[in-house]
Amino acid sequence: MLRRRPGESIAIGADIEIEVMEISRTRVKLGVRAPREIPVLRKETLAVAAENRQALELVSAFSTAHNGPSACASGTRGVAETLRLLAAAANQEKTLEFAPAAPICFAGDIPGIPNEAPLASDVSRNRENPEPRQDAGPLSL
Amino acid sequence: MTAFECPTIVSPTIVSPWLGEIRLDPECEIYFPAGLPGFEEERRMAPVEIPAQRPLLYLQSVERARVCFVALPVYVIHPGFRLDISDIPDDERILLGLTGGREAVIGEDVLCVVLLMPSRDSVQVNLNAPIVVNLHNQRAAQIVRPGATPDVWRLSAENGWAPLC
């Protein structure tokens, strides 16, 4: 255990320094100097970092469906079922489908969102785009 | 470069192996000043929607084409979801520029989405780790409340979206 006052630091090895910057009644403000390759995270975000790495795998599974059933038969069945469930959960009649080419820019309503809580797309449409755009591109906030 | 400077847009398009060629519009780009947990270098993301897949939303990295997440607006999963400004840790509130003292309204002030993760033959999300985008400045951060346990919801044929016990 080490006891430090504001303005004092501790060193971990030669490259990492932690400075006590400020102490209030309930909080301590710390400044960390560390090499760029060492992530400095609050501990509770570690589990989320692992979840995010898992989340990254999903898009490649979805892309397998895009490439057709021959790419990965069992994986495709799972993704197809997931898309059906996603559509059902959003109260849509049609199963979600993969577009074969570039994504399309949208500025329209997102199904399943209550009108009293408009999302970014609504805000954008009302402010700048009177009609949803038909061309390809990223979502306009 | 400080944490509050947006990098200059260099390329007008990105070729995503998942989504194809995307024309970038700086006005559409979301800027994560601190990246995402596990992806701290990913600062610039393009939100992309494929109309046939609404309400799915793709978050495509502008700098690394292979990095792309699939997300859903939180309301689609849990219409009763609430996020109070006080739930957002101070550091993230500063990064987002939500320091005015006024409550942020989902849909008017902020966009709130969660990342989909694979879960056996379906997908799941953690509602205690939403990505919040400040619609007034397009800064974003993934919010993880101190001490909060994961609030995992899974999509199933029987129950639709339901919390995992």
pLDDT, tens digit (0-9, with 9 covering 90-100), for A83-99: 778 877 776 666 666 55
Q: Confidence class of residue A52 from pLDDT cuts 50, 70 and 90?
A: very high
**Cα–Cα distance, B83 to A140 (Å, whole number):** 23
The pLDDT, as a whole number, for residue A110 is: 36
Q: Determine the residue among A29, A36, A37, A48 to mutate to test chain B binding: the one whose Cβ has the most chain B Cβ atoms within 10 Å.
A: A48
Cβ-proximal residues to B77 (8 Å cutoff; 6+ apart), any chain: A89, B114, B125, B127, B153, B161
CB contact under 8 A, B67 and A56: yes
**Does residue A56 register a pLDDT over 80?**
yes
Overall average pLDDT of the A52-73 stretch: 64
Contact (CB<8Å) B144/A119: no
Cβ <8 Å between A138 and B150: no
Mutation site for B-interface testing, chosen from A45, A53, A129 by largest number of B Cβ within 10 Å: A45
Q: Quick one: closest CA in B to A42, which residue?
A: B146
> What 3 state SS string does chain B have?
CCCCCCCCCCCCEEEECCCEEEECCCCCCEECCCCECCECCCCEEEEECCHHHCCCEEEEECCCCCCEEEEEEHHHHCCCCCCCHHHCCHHHHHHHCCCCCCCCCECCCEEEEEECEEECCEEEEECCCCEEEECCCCEEEECCCCCCCCCEEEEECCCEEEECC
Higher pLDDT: A119 or B95? It is B95
Each of the 165 residues of chain B gets a pLDDT tens digit; together they read: 444 555 554 557 888 888 888 877 777 889 999 999 999 889 999 888 877 778 888 899 998 988 999 999 998 899 888 888 888 888 888 899 887 667 778 878 888 999 999 887 789 999 999 999 998 889 999 998 777 788 999 998 888 899 987
Q: Has residue A77 got a pLDDT over 90? A: no
Alpha carbons A103 and B22: distance in angstroms, whole number: 7
So what's the pLDDT on residue B105?
80
User: Which of A79-83, A99-103, B36-40 is the least confident region?
Assistant: A99-103
- pLDDT for the residue B90: 84
- Is the Cβ pair A82, B123 closer than 8 Å? yes
Assess A38–B contact: CB distance below 8 Å, yes or no. Answer: no
Give A-chain residues touching B37 at CB under 8 angstroms.
41, 45-46, 48-49, 52
Mean pLDDT of chain A: 65
Q: Is A28 on the interface with B (CB under 8 A)?
A: no
Yes or no, beta carbons of B20 and A102 under 8 Å apart: yes
A74 vs B24 pLDDT, higher one? B24
pLDDT value at A35 more than 90? yes
Q: What is the ipTM of this complex?
A: 0.87
Asked if A110 lies within 8 A of B25 by C-beta distance, the reply is no
A·B CB contacts under 8 A: 204
